[in-house]
Amino acid sequence: MEKLVGDYLTITIDSKCLTIVRSTYIGAKELKTFRSMPTKEGLQLLLADFLDNEEIAWVEPEEIVALTEAPILRYKENIYWFPDYAIRDEVEEILIGKAVVFSAAPGEEG
């Protein structure tokens, strides 16, 4: 299992999942900012530490011919997606302190 730590989040990664949890206090002003954004942009901002230094890459579904609107992330050569995207707001889950689990994409499970 690998672990990445950023300003807001801690991410643990293994072959089956990529788990995101809030690792620091987020002030009221920042919470309001995150909550006012569309989910995709809010998640990208929360993940900025990891996206900026290319530890994690944002993958658009069409890049891998995926028929989904779920957020998709790449870590090294593995692809992970958030299968509950239609029923849970991943940004809100992170902001209230819940873990958000991105599952290995079909065919990617170790």
Spell out the domain ranges in the chain.
2-104
Mean pLDDT score of the chain: 90
Mean local confidence (pLDDT), 95-99? 92
Residue 3 has pLDDT above 90, yes or no: yes
Task: Answer for the pair 56, 47: CB distance below 8 angstroms, yes or no.
Answer: yes
Cβ contacts of 49 within 8 Å, gap of 6 or more: 6, 7, 8, 9
Structure confidence at residue 57 as a pLDDT band (50, 70, 90)? very high
pLDDT of residue 109: 55
Mean local confidence (pLDDT), 43-52? 92
Q: What is the pLDDT of residues 67-95, one digit of tens each?
A: 888 999 999 989 999 999 889 999 999 99
Task: Answer for the pair 104, 78: CB distance below 8 angstroms, yes or no.
Answer: yes
pLDDT of residue 108: 62
Residue 47 has pLDDT above 70, yes or no: yes
